[in-house]
Amino acid sequence: MTVSSERELTEPVDLCDSAGHLNPEAIGWSRVPLHRANLRGAYGRKKRWDYWCFINSDLYVAVTYADVDYLGMTAVWIHQPSTGFTASIEPPAPFARGFVHTERSGVGTMSVRNAVRVGNGPVDLRIEDRPDATLIKVAADRTAWGPLDLDVAVERPEGHESLNVVIPWSLRRFQYTAKDNSRRVRGHISIGDRRFDLGAEGDETTWGILDVGRGLWRYNNRWNWASGSGIASGGAVVGLQFGGKWTEGTGYNENALCVDGRLHKIHNELSWDYDWDHPLRPWRVIDPVGGLVEATLSPTHDRHSKVSIGVLSMEVHQVFGTWAGTITSESGDLVTFDAVVGFAEEARNRW
């Protein structure tokens, strides 16, 4: 299906009107964050989160800072493929007490201190956006693996663009998302006696991938998301951003390419081919309309999670590996890539 009505926004806009419903003027997409997520009302339906992934060929790290009204979470997940080491810290905070969010992505500081605890010790998180970088710090004195200290900077080159888009299911249910990738990471992560130094000269590049969500969700949701970052065969820095399922029929999607920091919007839904029951088989994503994307992820690790509590349920297969294939820029340039690190997922949620 071709989507020709996607509107590009160029001026700041409020996501909601005075009643807390979707502002029709906010429907569209932009190359930089322009939406002020002034969510209100609809208790239990509001979702606010920032998800960061730091990835190279031998390290996968995820940091999640989420507020879903009745629950807050500061989560850190670390996996090293070569050793099999995995650590997962997911302490809940009832009613997201102590959580501080920004209304506009990429601006200001978010933090939580002493509201979330692991064992007998607090988990402190701070995400600070500056013009040239995002600074992320997480500290926890007592985890099952020992003290956690995460201190990284995700560089933001001048002129770097990201995908920012509103998905309008209705005026009462909608989602603003900011998707960013292909940003270099430097800093360190230590947990117990393990330390991972990122971004040192001569080391493999670690890439930062961001997913921001602000919206009033429907109860039953199913989506695809995929991202990748790396260097193409010709030397260009490429970022892959693919979405699907929950955007269908809305007139907007979460599909874009980033080449050397320039965003190239894809204005139609993509076709996904994978096996939910065998998630480590290849995942293939193509553009059946414009031919702008032909990419295959070869997974090596499945991060599978499943939770069911009463009327709430969540199940996700997020597979990590390397992307290979071709993309075509807005100017018609064919970009070939191989061994671009990234992931793909399907999520099935009722919450």
pLDDT in tens, 207-248: 999 999 999 999 999 999 999 999 999 999 999 999 999 999
Ordered by start, the domain boundaries in the chain are 13-350
218/25 Cα distance (integer angstroms): 21
pLDDT one-digit tens code per residue, 115-149: 555 554 678 999 999 999 999 999 999 899 999 99
Angle of CA points 12, 213, 281, to nearest 5°: 130
Cβ atoms 147, 192 nearer than 8 A: yes
**Which of 48-84 are b and which e, b meaning 16 or more Cβ less than 10 Å from the residue's Cβ?**
bbbbbbbbbbebbbbbbbbbbeeebbbbbbbbeeeee
Q: H/E element holding 307?
A: strand 293-309
> How confident is the prediction for the chain on average, in pLDDT?
93
pLDDT of residue 3: 46
- pLDDT, tens digit, for every residue of 294-321? 999 999 999 999 988 887 899 999 999 9
pTM summary value: 0.94
Predicted pLDDT of residue 287: 98
What pLDDT is stored for residue 113 in this prediction? Answer: 62
